[in-house]
Structure 1
Amino acid sequence: MENVLRPLIVLGGSVVLTLLIGWAVDLLLRRADARHSETGLWGRLRRARVPFQFVLCVALLRGSYDQAQVAREYSADVGRILTLVLIGSTAWLIVGIATAIVETSYSRYANAHRDPARVRRVRTQVTLIQRVVSAIVGVVAVAAMLLTFPAMRAAGASLLASAGIIGIVAGVAAQSTLANLFAGMQIAFGDMVRLGDTVVVDGEWGTVDEITLTFLTVRTWDERRITMPVSYFVSKPFENWSRGSAQMTGIVFFQVDHSAPVDAMREQLRDILRECPAWDGRDYGLAVTDSTPNTMEVRALVTAKDADDIWTVRVTVRERMIRWLTEEHPYALPRVNTADAALPPGHTNGQPPRPDRGRVHEPPRTGPGRG
């Protein structure tokens, strides 16, 4: 009977104690979050309650497993397994706590500063710091798991002796990976590109959607995702429309007939922009920039507060200006000239006249016997 009750008491007691302690800690976090709701830290720490309970339960089982006296011949193996699980769950808990602290710091900064560029820069840095911390914790956890095996501890001296050679070989083999790693850190703290920036890369226009230590993802206007190594952004030129001020200037070209009313088009552009909410009111203009034998090129210049609004202004001006020309001045639209060309004097039916100089004129003949 004792052989049955002892394991049940040990296992059941560990589970019950874990649930009680987890409930008490969660209650304290809820109360702290209610009192200090402006920080948000306590509410984010509650997300780590599952790994906390897992760590607590495994630790209690690891400490009390010997008292259960179950499968004594496998006691060492079970203890090692519990140790491995405890190390992994502890790493999980540390990452959760670090994530809560980092997100809280970013939220405070975002609420205190209204500059979108600075907020995006801090967000990029915080995201990469969070990834670095997670990677370091993961590496340490894996190393700690390996050291629980006696064979790994015995081989520790030889591993340390050959660490220099292994490091050189690994550095040569993974030089592209290391280049991307250092490029990611340079992007994060060099403020070259940030999350949410509008960029043009290889002719593709989009928004930076994700930045990791090795790659960067750009979300295009048609919802595609372009994934590129971060080393690209430190070795090749690219356009960052969000760098500095987000204000932008856009142009719209029109091909019209030479008889188009340019002054009336300029006034119509002003009326269109006044009715367009995306126009920021800074500047506008319309001028003839080029001409061909059949048409002339008219350029409309508009401004907006950011890349999204400049796109809206451009398409609005293009649509409404073409509609206005079609309805009010149809003669101003490009035409294909099908009229006959005016011929020079003396030309008939497109053939030049025959020259009369040097031609011999014979007298007219009136009869067969006349000579």
Structure 2
Amino acid sequence: MQQIFPAHWDVPVQVVDALTIAAAIMIALAIHWVAMRIARRIAARTPESIDDVFVDAAARPARWILVALALASVRQLLHLDDGARALWGQAAGMIVPLLLGWLAINLIRAGGRAVELSADISVTDNLRARRRRTRSAILTRIAVFVVGFITICLMLLSIPSVRSVGVTLMASAGLIGLAVGAAAQPALKNIIAGIQMAFTEPIRIDDVVIIDGEWGRIEEIRLTYVVVAIWDERRLVVPVSKFLEESFQNWTRNSSQLHGTAFFWLDPTADIARLRARLEELVRANERWDGRGFVLQVTDTRPDAIEVRALVTARDAANAFDLRCDIREGMLAFIRDEMPEALPRGRMELGRPGWSEPVALPVPPAPGEQGSSGGAGAIPEDGRA
């Protein structure tokens, strides 16, 4: 770098060092700009947008990694004293692991995003897509945690004092591990449960579940907790271990298709065949019905009423719920307008044969009269007054 200037010029070494650093940074930024343009052009030629995600994720970390490499390459050209060289090495020991960890975490998250783009859960049969998204979400968070932990360890080990302390603590790592494990038992329990959930899959993204008496969909699966979106827009945050230790209902475990039911209490004399024909009309005219089947059955009897169940099928839980409401409303309107005799009625029997004749009651004598067997106030033997 000094040969750039004429020999008679007296240029301070600080200026030379500054120009050397600036030139190295400019060359690194130019290389990064050219490389990103080439990468984006290649990614734009593919119909999928997955490679674009990786290019965007690597753009910023790659820029600073190239700058760090450029500065490392010109280190020998700089006029640094021993203190400055030690500080330079210390900074490089912390910055390089940080940049590499940043790049690795961005690429891991880009991989998770790529899985989300390729696994479309908006289709009707989305079981495989939800399975891929669930595994990707859990494993991505685990990988990010591991890479972040390793990055921090490498950064700390670059400090000589911390490295010596770390070597000393290795002798008592067992006791420290036990103490930390006992203190962080709930968190470790949920982390291990999250890893187990990634492979056993008791729940998946967008599963319809009933837990703690609440109906909702699995919105997020974190490393230690799960977010359930309740139907009324509330959010239920549940520890991951709860899904492995306690019972819950999963309505979309094997398929998103469901059966929906609507119950009616009717009079025992109701014309079931007529109601069954009306149910068929309502079901076939409803767009939420998936065409698999429907049925109307008497499922219970009581002395004053019968229980009638309408069973219909739908492609998912949301459509099943709306279809049940439509069927319930339509059947009730039909019964009210055209079959009011099918509504439950109370019955009462007022009399039985032989009870129509009056029963004679004794007539007490009038005041002042003496009652006797032949007197004026006596009661005839036949019991009639």
TM-score range, shorter chain: 0.7 to 0.9
Q: Which one-letter code corresponds to 1:124 in the other structure?
A: T
What CA distance in whole angstroms lies between the structure 1 residues aligned with 2:326 and 2:21?
A: 70
What CA distance in whole angstroms lies between the structure 1 residues aligned with 2:59 and 2:100?
A: 12
Q: Secondary structure at the match of 1:154?
A: helix
- Of residues 191, 194, 197 in structure 2, which corresponds to 1:187? 197
Q: CA deviation at 1:300?
A: 1.0
Q: Which one-letter code corresponds to 1:193 in the other structure?
A: I
Q: Which one-letter code corresponds to 1:99 in the other structure?
A: R
Aligned to 1:216: 226
- Of residues 358, 362, 365 in structure 2, which corresponds to 1:356? 362
Check whether the contact 2:209–2:250 (CA below 8 A) recurs between aligned residues.
yes
What CA distance in whole angstroms lies between the structure 1 residues aligned with 2:91 and 2:174?
A: 32
Against the structure 1 CA distance between its residues 46 and 76, is the aligned structure 2 distance closer, same or farther, given a 3 Å change threshold?
same
Against the structure 1 CA distance between its residues 115 and 229, is the aligned structure 2 distance closer, same or farther, given a 3 Å change threshold?
same
Q: CA deviation at 1:139?
A: 0.6
The answer on 1:19 being equivalent to 2:29 is: yes
What CA distance in whole angstroms lies between the structure 2 residues aligned with 1:355 and 1:15?
A: 123
Q: What per-residue deviation string (whole Å, max 9, x for no partner) do you get for residues 259-306 of structure 1?
A: 543322211110000011111222222223334565433211111222
Q: Bigger shift: 267-276 or 67-76?
A: 67-76
Q: CA deviation at 1:93?
A: 0.8
The answer on 1:135 being equivalent to 2:145 is: yes
Aligned to 2:127: 117
- Of residues 267, 284, 291 in structure 1, which corresponds to 2:277? 267
Q: What per-residue deviation string (whole Å, max 9, x for no partner) do you get for residues 314-357 of structure 1?
A: 0110111122222223444456x6x9983678799xxx977439
What CA distance in whole angstroms lies between the structure 1 residues aligned with 2:306 and 2:134?
A: 47
Q: CA deviation at 1:133?
A: 1.4
What CA distance in whole angstroms lies between the structure 1 residues aligned with 2:86 and 2:192?
A: 43
Q: CA deviation at 1:107?
A: 5.4
- Of residues 350, 358, 382 in structure 2, which corresponds to 1:342? 350
Against the structure 1 CA distance between its residues 223 and 10, is the aligned structure 2 distance closer, same or farther, given a 3 Å change threshold?
farther
Q: Which runs of 5+ in 2 are unaligned?
A: 1-10, 366-370, 378-385
Check whether the contact 2:282–2:327 (CA below 8 A) recurs between aligned residues.
yes
Against the structure 1 CA distance between its residues 157 and 73, is the aligned structure 2 distance closer, same or farther, given a 3 Å change threshold?
closer
Check whether the contact 2:115–2:132 (CA below 8 A) recurs between aligned residues.
no
Structure 2 matches for 1:1-371, cutoff 5 A?
A: 2=12, 5-6=15-16, 8-38=18-48, 40-61=50-71, 64=74, 76-77=86-87, 80-81=90-91, 83-104=93-114, 116-292=126-302, 295-334=305-344, 342=350, 355-356=361-362, 363-364=375-376
Q: How many residues align?
A: 359
What CA distance in whole angstroms lies between the structure 1 residues aligned with 2:237 and 2:178?
A: 29
Check whether the contact 2:119–2:133 (CA below 8 A) recurs between aligned residues.
no
Q: Which one-letter code corresponds to 1:164 in the other structure?
A: G
What CA distance in whole angstroms lies between the structure 2 residues aligned with 1:314 and 1:7?
A: 78
Q: Secondary structure at the match of 1:12?
A: helix
Aligned to 2:380: none
What CA distance in whole angstroms lies between the structure 2 residues aligned with 1:240 and 1:285?
A: 24
Check whether the contact 2:119–2:130 (CA below 8 A) recurs between aligned residues.
no
What CA distance in whole angstroms lies between the structure 1 residues aligned with 2:273 and 2:81?
A: 96
- TM-score of the pair, normalised by structure 2: 0.80
Q: Secondary structure at the match of 1:249?
A: strand
Against the structure 1 CA distance between its residues 318 and 109, is the aligned structure 2 distance closer, same or farther, given a 3 Å change threshold?
closer
Check whether the contact 2:257–2:316 (CA below 8 A) recurs between aligned residues.
yes
Q: CA deviation at 1:122?
A: 2.0
Q: What per-residue deviation string (whole Å, max 9, x for no partner) do you get for residues 197-236 of structure 1?
A: 1111122111111112211111121222111111111111
Q: Which runs of 5+ in 1 are unaligned?
A: 366-371
Against the structure 1 CA distance between its residues 109 and 269, is the aligned structure 2 distance closer, same or farther, given a 3 Å change threshold?
closer
Q: What per-residue deviation string (whole Å, max 9, x for no partner) do you get for residues 84-136 of structure 1?
A: 3333222111111233345446756779x996222222221122221121111
Q: Which one-letter code corresponds to 1:167 in the other structure?
A: G
Against the structure 1 CA distance between its residues 239 and 47, is the aligned structure 2 distance closer, same or farther, given a 3 Å change threshold?
same
Q: Secondary structure at the match of 1:271?
A: helix
- TM-score of the pair, normalised by structure 1: 0.82
Check whether the contact 1:183–1:231 (CA below 8 A) recurs between aligned residues.
yes
What CA distance in whole angstroms lies between the structure 2 residues aligned with 1:295 and 1:177?
A: 54
What CA distance in whole angstroms lies between the structure 1 residues aligned with 2:170 and 2:372?
A: 119
Greater Rg over alpha carbons, structure: 2
Q: Secondary structure at the match of 1:231?
A: helix
Q: Secondary structure at the match of 1:96?
A: helix
Check whether the contact 1:346–1:353 (CA below 8 A) recurs between aligned residues.
no
Q: CA deviation at 1:31?
A: 2.2
Against the structure 1 CA distance between its residues 17 and 84, is the aligned structure 2 distance closer, same or farther, given a 3 Å change threshold?
same
State the Cα RMSD in Å: 3.6
What CA distance in whole angstroms lies between the structure 2 residues aligned with 1:253 and 1:69?
A: 88
Q: What per-residue deviation string (whole Å, max 9, x for no partner) do you get for residues 57-108 of structure 1?
A: 3444466578666999676556634543333222111111233345446756
Aligned to 2:8: none
Q: Which one-letter code corresponds to 1:94 in the other structure?
A: A
